[in-house]
Chains A and B, each alone.
Chain A
Amino acid sequence: MPPARPSYWPQRVFVTRDASDDALTQRVLSRLGDVEVVHLDRRADPVTETDFGADAANDASRFDLGKRTLLLTRHEGGWMERCPAGSGNLVCCNLWTVNPGEGCPLDCSYCYLQSYLKRNPTLKLFTNIPDMLSTIEAAANAEPSRLFRIGTGETIDSLVWDPLTDLSSELVPLFGRLSNALLELKTKTALVDQLVDLRSEHNGRTVVSWSLNARVVTEREEVWTAALEDRILAAARCVEAGYRVGFHFDPLIDFDGWQDAYRETVDLIFASVPASRIAWISLGTLRYKREMQQVMRERFPKSTVSLGEQQLGSDNKMRYCQPMRLRLLRFMWDSLKERSADLPVYMCMEGASSWRAVSECSSSEDASLVEIISRKGRTDGAAAEGVFLQ
Chain B
Amino acid sequence: MSVIGSFIEERRVDAKFQSRLNELQETEQVIVERLIQCLSPSANTLRELIRLAEEIAARESRSLLDVLSAEKINQLLEHSSSKKERQRLIRQELEQQRFPKLHKLHAELNQCQTQLLNDLGLRLELPRDLEGDTLSLTISAKTARDFERQGAKITELSTHPALARIFSLLKGDF
Contact = CB atoms under 8 A, between A and B. Distances in A.
Interface string B115-138: 000000000000101111110000
29 contacts: A304-B58, A307-B55, A309-B101, A313-B129, A314-B129, A321-B105, A321-B129, A321-B130, A321-B131, A322-B130, A322-B170, A322-B172, A323-B105, A323-B130, A323-B170, A324-B101, A324-B102, A325-B172, A326-B170, A326-B171, A326-B172, A327-B172, A327-B173, A330-B171, A330-B172, A353-B133, A356-B133, A357-B133, A357-B172
Contacts of B132: 322, 351, 353
Given A307-B59, A324-B102, A313 B172 contact: no
Interface in B134-174: 134, 169-174
Interface string A296-339: 00000000100101010110000001111111111000000000
A92 B55 CA distance: 35
B133 A309 contact: no
Nearest to A357: B171
B131 A313 contact: yes
A256 to B, nearest CB: 10
Which interface residue of A254, A313, A321, A357 has the most chain B CB atoms within 10 A? A321
A309 B100 CA distance: 8
A327 B134 CA distance: 18
Interface of A: 254, 304, 307, 309, 311, 313-314, 321-330, 351, 353, 356-357
A324 B58 contact: no
Nearest to B103: A309
A330 B169 CA distance: 13
A325 B129 CA distance: 13
Which interface residue of A314, A328, A353 has the most chain B CB atoms within 10 A? A353
Contacts of A329: 172
A329 B174 CA distance: 14
A304 B101 CA distance: 16
B103 to A, nearest CB: 9
Contact of B101 (A254, A307, A313, A357): A254
B150 to A, nearest CB: 27
A328 B171 CA distance: 10
Contacts of A357: 133, 170-172
Which interface residue of A304, A309, A313 has the most chain B CB atoms within 10 A? A309
Contact of A323 (B58, B59, B169): B169
B121 to A, nearest CB: 26
The 8 closest A-B pairs by CB, nearest first: A326-B172, A327-B172, A307-B59, A353-B133, A321-B130, A357-B171, A323-B172, A309-B99
Given A321-B129, A324-B101, A327-B172, 13 more contacts: A254-B101, A304-B58, A311-B102, A321-B102, A322-B127, A322-B131, A323-B105, A323-B171, A323-B174, A324-B105, A327-B174, A329-B172, A330-B171
